[in-house]
Amino acid sequence: MKQTLEEAKREYIEKYVSRNEYASFGAAFEAGAEWHKKQSPWISVEEQLPEENTGVFFTVEWKDSHKGYFTGLYYGNSQWESDHRIFLPNSPLGRITHWMPIPKFNNNNKS
């Protein structure tokens, strides 16, 4: 089960923060959580590439300026594949701009 922001804050404060620092730390914790929530999960290929042979989500910007979103593999050497489409570096048709890892799902939830 996921923790709420309030539960996560309380748990952290109880473990690591003295009672004198509670109010100021609580506000800082919430501000950090809000900042993190606003961050994009997409990673620019100019900043970082996934590990080789990794399944990821990725975006393709086509030469006519529209974008496509795909699930596929990054093979390395700027080569990507999705549903029998291979995207090569320096393609005149489109280029990969961003990627993000496929999230792992928690299988500990028993219904």
Tens digits of residue pLDDT in 49-72: 999 999 999 999 988 778 889 999
Q: State the residue range of the domain holding 29.
A: 5-37
Task: Round to whole Å and give the CA distance between 23 and 72.
Answer: 46
**Mean pLDDT within 78-86:** 88
Question: Is residue 111 one of the residues assigned to a domain?
Answer: no
Tokens of 7: 């539960």
> Is residue 91 included in any domain, yes or no?
yes
**Contact 98/50 with Cβ under 8 angstroms?**
no
Count of the separate structural domains present in the chain: 2
What is the rounded average pLDDT of the residues 27-39? 75
Please indicate, yes or no, if residue 32 is contained in any of the structural domains: yes
Q: What percent of the chain has pLDDT over 90?
A: 33
**Same domain membership, residue 85 and residue 49:** yes
91 and 54 fall within a common domain: yes
* Same domain, yes or no: 22 and 60: no
What pLDDT is stored for residue 22 in this prediction?
62
Is the same domain home to 50 and 9?
A: no
Question: What pTM was computed for the model?
Answer: 0.61
Confidence of residue 106 (pLDDT cuts 50, 70, 90): confident
